[in-house]
């Protein structure tokens, strides 16, 4: 992603799970649609199958989107690949990264465990998707930072207080990434003082998007990419 020492002139529009109002979340179709719609980056969810293949799925099971109650961690890739059909299916992370490189739109990988983050990092390195970023579990971010000093990290947060400086020193995130309702102008100013950019997740109503943009954030993760891009275009025209 962008150089860690330079704040983007225009906040980044980060599509949450791809363009899922139009296509099923975390599928290649949703990612491709978000890229076409103007996403600067796309947040996706990564988990490991029983045989260690990183795949794009948010829930612990396949029930909600795919009608299969089996846990992701207990299902092999050969079983996962039968879910859905055609282009509406659960993709491997490697496929999504290949698309990312081809289209020039980086992914932000949301991981729940250090084991997942390290498997994902190996896949990133194998595919040459060097602009890929990570968010999610703290232990996973620490593992990635230990293994890769230059990888872009988004430090997620759901606390009213700012993160401990020891956490910031351990993770060395390029982005502080709280839930948007916990964001305040003073938080943005404080992080910028530390040289850390600010993102937030996941405002989607026009009024909420305008509010966080007015606070001076550097990026926004949203479920309504179209609304965010329209507001950014209006502010920079």
Average pLDDT, rounded, for the chain = 96
Find out whether 144 and 78 touch, Cβ atoms under 8 Å. no
pLDDT of 25 > 90? The answer is: yes
Q: Spell out the domains of the chain, with CATH numbers in brackets.
A: 12-236 (3.20.20.190)
Q: How sure is the predictor about 237, in pLDDT bands with cuts at 50, 70 and 90?
A: confident
Question: What percentage of the chain's residues is helix, strand, coil (to nearest 5)?
Answer: 40, 25, 35
Residue 112 in tokens? 């729940």
Question: β-strand 152-157 against 133-136: which pairing, if any?
Answer: parallel
CB burial class (10 A; 0-12, 13-18, 19+) of residue 207?
A: exposed
**Structure confidence by residue, pLDDT tens digits, 112-132:** 999 999 999 999 999 999 999
Q: What percent of the chain has pLDDT over 70?
A: 97
According to the model, what pLDDT value does residue 87 have?
Answer: 82
According to the model, what pLDDT value does residue 1 have?
Answer: 72
**Structure confidence by residue, pLDDT tens digits, 67-111:** 999 999 999 999 999 999 888 999 999 999 999 999 999 999 999
pLDDT of 220 > 60? The answer is: yes
In angstroms, rounded to a whole number, what is the distance separating the alpha carbons of residues 105 and 164?
32
**Structure confidence by residue, pLDDT tens digits, 142-162:** 999 999 999 999 999 998 888
Q: How sure is the predictor about 217, in pLDDT bands with cuts at 50, 70 and 90?
A: very high
According to the model, what pLDDT value does residue 8 have?
Answer: 72
In angstroms, rounded to a whole number, what is the distance separating the alpha carbons of residues 210 and 146?
36
Can you say how many angstroms the Cα of residue 66 is from the centroid of all Cα atoms in its chain? 22
Q: How sure is the predictor about 2, in pLDDT bands with cuts at 50, 70 and 90?
A: low
Q: Reduce the DSSP state of residue 94 to 3 states and report it.
A: helix
pLDDT of 4 > 70? The answer is: no
């Amino acid at each position: 992603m962008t150089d860690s020492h330079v704040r983007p002139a225009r906040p980044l529009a980060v599509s949450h799970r791809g363009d899922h109002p139009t296509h099923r979340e975390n599928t290649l179709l949703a990612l491709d649609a978000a890229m076409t719609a103007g996403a600067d980056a796309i947040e996706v969810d990564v988990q490991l199958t029983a045989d260690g293949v990183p795949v794009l799925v948010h829930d612990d099971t396949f029930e909600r989107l795919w009608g299969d109650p089996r846990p992701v961690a207990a299902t092999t890739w050969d079983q996962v690949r039968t879910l859905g059909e055609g282009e509406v299916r659960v993709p491997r992370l490697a496929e999504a990264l290949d698309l990312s490189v081809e289209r020039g739109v980086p992914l932000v990988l949301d991981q729940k465990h250090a084991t997942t983050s390290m498997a994902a990092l190996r896949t990133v390195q194998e595919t040459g998707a060097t602009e890929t970023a990570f968010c999610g579990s703290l232990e996973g971010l620490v593992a990635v930072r230990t293994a890769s000093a230059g990888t872009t990290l988004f430090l997620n947060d759901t606390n009213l207080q700012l993160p401990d400086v020891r956490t910031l020193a351990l993770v060395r995130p390029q982005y502080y990434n709280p839930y948007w309702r916990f964001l305040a102008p003073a938080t943005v100013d404080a992080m910028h003082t530390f040289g850390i950019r600010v993102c937030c997740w996941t405002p989607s109503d026009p009024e909420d998007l305008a509010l966080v943009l007015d606070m001076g954030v550097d990026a926004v993760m949203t479920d309504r990419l179209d609304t965010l891009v329209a507001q950014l275009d209006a502010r920079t025209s």
